[in-house]
């Protein structure tokens, strides 16, 4: 790993942790509502620097943020970890398989949905073990995930555009697409 990559991962992780922390401070009307703002950073990392960087940033963010909040290795951490890793993998796969089919918004939606599905599956297997409970709550979670996924996708799109505009010469391969 080059030192430039390390610097980049550290910076992106710092942004992601800050967003993650900020998000947990926001009051929400529904207790389980999470906006997934940190996914913006994961998506930007994926599109600009590739899958490895995105995965590193996700792992660092989840582990460090959970240590800050005191939930490391607890139930909330397991859910967060499963959701984060699976959404990064899903976005990476979707981007690799269909390079031009989905824009940032579509990728963000894919990430949000796989995050939700992974969390519901984990919660079902590990904690709830009652299919009715999962079925009742899953459409609500999916709806919230869709709306926040679109918002995050638009923000990511905006960010990527501005980064490319500012230092376009550094991303020659992307600019040509």
Partner 1 sequence: MRRRVLKEDLRLKKIIKNITLADWTLFLVLLVVSVAGIFITKEALPRGTDVTIEINGEPAYTFPLNVDRTIPVSGPYGDTLIEIKSGRARIREAHCPNRVCVKQGWVSKGVIICLPNKILVFVGSGGGDKSGKEIDAVTG
Judged by CB under 8 A, which stretch of 8-16, 60-68, 69-77, 83-91 contacts partner 1?
Answer: 69-77
Residue owning tokens 């796989």: 114
DSSP string of 50-81, one letter each residue: -HHHHHHHHHHHHHHHHHHHT-TTSHHHHHHH
CA nearest to 152, candidates 115, 89, 109, 92: 109
Out of 93, 140, 174, 175, which residue is the one contacting partner 1 (CB under 8 A)? Answer: 140
Q: What does the block give as tokens for 127? A: 């904690």
Judged by CB under 8 A, which stretch of 37-45, 59-67, 80-88, 151-159 contacts partner 1?
Answer: 151-159
Q: Residue 175 interacts with partner 1 (CB under 8 A)?
A: no
Judged by CB under 8 A, which stretch of 5-13, 45-53, 56-64, 136-144 contacts partner 1?
Answer: 136-144
Q: Residue 105 interacts with partner 1 (CB under 8 A)?
A: yes
């Amino acid at each position: 790993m080059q030192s430039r990559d390390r610097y980049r991962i550290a910076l992106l992780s710092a942004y992601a942790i800050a967003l993650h922390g900020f998000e947990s401070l926001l009051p929400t009307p529904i207790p389980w509502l999470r906006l997934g703002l940190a996914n913006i950073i994961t998506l930007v990392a994926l599109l600009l620097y590739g899958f490895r960087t995105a995965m590193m940033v996700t792992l660092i963010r989840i582990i460090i943020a959970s240590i800050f909040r005191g939930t490391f290795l607890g139930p909330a951490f397991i859910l967060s970890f499963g959701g984060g890793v699976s959404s990064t993998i899903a976005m990476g796969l979707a981007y690799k398989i269909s390079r031009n089919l989905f824009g940032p918004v579509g990728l963000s939606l894919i990430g949000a949905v796989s995050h939700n599905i992974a969390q519901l599956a984990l919660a079902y297997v590990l904690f709830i073990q009652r299919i009715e409970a999962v079925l009742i709550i899953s459409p609500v979670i999916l709806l919230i995930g869709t709306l926040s996924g679109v918002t995050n996708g638009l923000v990511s799109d905006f960010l990527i555009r501005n980064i490319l505009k500012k230092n376009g010469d550094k991303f020659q391969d992307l600019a040509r697409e």
